[in-house]
């Protein structure tokens, strides 16, 4: 917090500009061929990384899709990314859900675990603790379905490693802002 009359050194401001932060962007676009490729092309062409990407049609009658992108960048680069995406013709709106604060974020994961005896019992106990649903079970393995925040899923996967984790499939982040306003 800056107090009235307080000055900040240029060094401090320079440090702040270089700090990399993770942000969730929500982009409303026309649902037409090539739009996703153009949006993703902005990232790859400039060396920006996409940590999570989800896209789906959200208004069938209006042919609109929502793209949710999680990326890590400095605030300056993030502004550049948002401006470049907004300039694409089929883009209707770009919102930084992290900037507006307290967005609801969820992800779905399928987690396969193989094991017998105590490992099997522990896997079931952990799945119950995380409220994961068992969607497949054999005598030697389970597939659990888990919905939650990315950090919850990370914790579940880490714990399942000791129980015989085989593989994980994740959907990517779905996010909405809180309150009455939409994208």
Q: Are strands 174-176 and 64-73 parallel, antiparallel or unpaired?
A: unpaired
CA atoms within 13 Å, Cβ hemisphere of 46: 17
pLDDT for res 75? 86
Q: Residue 130 has which token pair?
A: 């995380």
Cβ neighbors of 45 (< 8 A, separation 6 or more) are none
Give the C-alpha distances (Å, rounded to integers) separating 103 from 92, 98, 100, 172: 20, 7, 8, 15
Between CA 4 and CA 19 the distance in angstroms is: 24
Give the number of other Cβ atoms within 10 Å of residue 105's Cβ: 19
Q: What's the confidence (pLDDT) of residue 19?
A: 86
What are the per-10-residue average pLDDT scores of the chain (183 residues)?
52 63 94 94 86 94 95 88 91 91 92 95 97 96 96 97 97 92 82
Block residue for tokens 């987690």: 111
pLDDT at 12: 52
Give the per-residue pLDDT at 1: 47
Q: Tell me the domains of the chain and their CATH numbers.
A: 11-100 (3.30.70.260), 104-176 (3.30.70.1150)
Global pTM reads: 0.81
| DSSP-derived pairing of the beta strands 50-59 and 64-73 | antiparallel
Give Dmax (Cα) for the chain: 69
């Amino acid at each position: 917090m800056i107090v009235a009359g307080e000055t900040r050194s240029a060094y401090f401001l320079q440090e702040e500009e270089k700090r990399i932060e993770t942000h969730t962007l929500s982009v409303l676009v026309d649902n037409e061929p090539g739009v996703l490729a153009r949006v993703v092309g902005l990232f790859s062409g400039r060396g920006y990384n996409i940590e999570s990407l989800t896209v789906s049609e959200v208004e069938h009658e209006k042919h609109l899709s929502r793209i949710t992108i999680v990326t890590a960048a400095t605030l300056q680069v993030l502004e550049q990314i948002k401006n470049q995406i907004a300039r694409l013709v089929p883009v209707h709106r770009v919102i930084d859900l992290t900037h507006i604060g307290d967005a609801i974020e969820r992800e779905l994961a399928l987690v396969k675990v193989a094991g017998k005896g105590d490992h099997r019992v522990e896997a079931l106990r952990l799945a119950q603790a995380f409220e994961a649903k068992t969607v497949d079970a054999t005598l030697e393995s389970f597939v659990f379905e888990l919905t939650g925040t990315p950090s919850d899923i990370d914790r579940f996967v880490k714990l399942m490693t000791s129980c015989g984790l085989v593989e994980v499939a994740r959907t990517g982040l779905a996010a909405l802002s809180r309150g009455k306003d939409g994208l």
